Structure 1
Amino acid sequence: MGLFTKDIKTMNDLFVHQLQDIYYAENQLVKALPKMASKASDPQLKQGFLTHLDETKTHVQRLEQVFKMHGVEAKAIDCPAIDGIIEEADEVAGEVADRAVLDAALINAAQAAEHYEIVRYGSLIAWAKQLGRNDCASVLQKTLDEEKATDRKLTSLAESAVNLRAAS
């Protein structure tokens, strides 16, 4: 189903569609993060990926909670955007021989995923509020806050150490 198909007629339809999209994305990231951690050589980066893996599993559970609260089945729909981000990360990681440069590339890939998630959760929260579902919005807000915190940590790690090593 395309984003602007006849299947999306109402704000509620759009909300559910995007819940299904981010549910797919979070589940794909549960699979991708251990691979990213195994490729990372920087100990903080490796640990950061593993910590975010645990958070991402919680994000999946929260989405299942929101589906239930909203009275719809927890179901994923393909998300070509996250598939592309993960595929690009795999390709770039396969092309980088220098471990320090690879760590910088992994941070970039992780931030691409984080920014995608930040956009999706921001819209979902706004739409939930518009639909009078402040209960759903508050659950989604917890995840948005964690995604933003992860992005800040990745930026800090890149700027304080990883990019410096990659450039030398």
Structure 2
Amino acid sequence: MTERLTDLWIEQLKNLHSLEVQLAKALPAMARTAEREEVRNFLLHHRVRAKAHATMLETILGELDETPGNVTCAAMGRLVAEWKPSDDIELLRTVRRGVHQEIERLAKAINGARVLGYDDAAELLCAAMEEEQYEDASLAKLGRRIHGHASRYAAA
């Protein structure tokens, strides 16, 4: 039973790695379409974080004698494929959906690590989730600020 749970958890880690890699690849293109420099800077900063999280996942998988392999996160693939250049508010909403996927999958990976006794991995995953939660709050704040500016411009 434990072996099967470990296999499922490893698959979760590989899927999460794919999510991070896909997001890191998509963010520069998204940043190029941003109207505001603060949005562009945020997206490029988030790319650095996504790449760091992918590296962290590679480390965890390596300690398990695993590699990310050919696993593809279909949900992130759809999100990236469906994204169309639009205004900054829609851009932030799209990125926020990606961040929510990260948070959700990190939470599941943390639970798996704890159940299976991989305490060091759980600690690393918790740190990544805290960073993503901070990013989510920052995205929300940036969106509210931009939306307020957009509303004022529309009223003028």
Residue type at the aligned position of 1:28: Q
Matched, 1:117 2:102: yes
Per the TM alignment, residue 141 of structure 1 is displaced from its structure 2 partner at its CA by 1.3
- Which of 125, 135, 138 is equivalent to 2:120? 135
C-alpha distance in structure 2 between counterparts of 1:83 and 1:37, whole Å = 18
Moved over 6 A (4+): none
2:147 aligned partner: 163
C-alpha distance in structure 1 between counterparts of 2:104 and 2:81, whole Å = 20
- Which of 82, 92, 111 is equivalent to 1:88? 82
- Which of 46, 58, 65 is equivalent to 1:64? 58
C-alpha distance in structure 1 between counterparts of 2:70 and 2:109, whole Å = 15
Matched, 1:23 2:17: yes
Give the direction of change, closer, same or farther, for the CA distance of 1:76–1:140 in structure 2 (3 Å limit): farther
C-alpha distance in structure 1 between counterparts of 2:91 and 2:102, whole Å = 17
C-alpha distance in structure 2 between counterparts of 1:53 and 1:75, whole Å = 21
C-alpha distance in structure 2 between counterparts of 1:74 and 1:112, whole Å = 23
2:131 aligned partner: 146
Give the direction of change, closer, same or farther, for the CA distance of 1:18–1:25 in structure 2 (3 Å limit): same
1:51 aligned partner: 45
Per the TM alignment, residue 76 of structure 1 is displaced from its structure 2 partner at its CA by 4.0
Report the TM-score when normalising by structure 2. 0.90
Unaligned stretches of 5+ in structure 2? none
Per the TM alignment, residue 79 of structure 1 is displaced from its structure 2 partner at its CA by 1.5
Report the TM-score when normalising by structure 1. 0.84
What's the Cα RMSD here? 1.4
2:32 aligned partner: 38
C-alpha distance in structure 1 between counterparts of 2:67 and 2:38, whole Å = 38
Unaligned stretches of 5+ in structure 1? 1-8, 97-101
C-alpha distance in structure 2 between counterparts of 1:87 and 1:164, whole Å = 29
The farther-off stretch of 21-30 and 119-128 is 21-30
C-alpha distance in structure 2 between counterparts of 1:12 and 1:163, whole Å = 44
Residue type at the aligned position of 1:144: M
Residue type at the aligned position of 2:130: D
Report the secondary structure of 1:41's partner residue: coil
Matched, 1:12 2:9: no
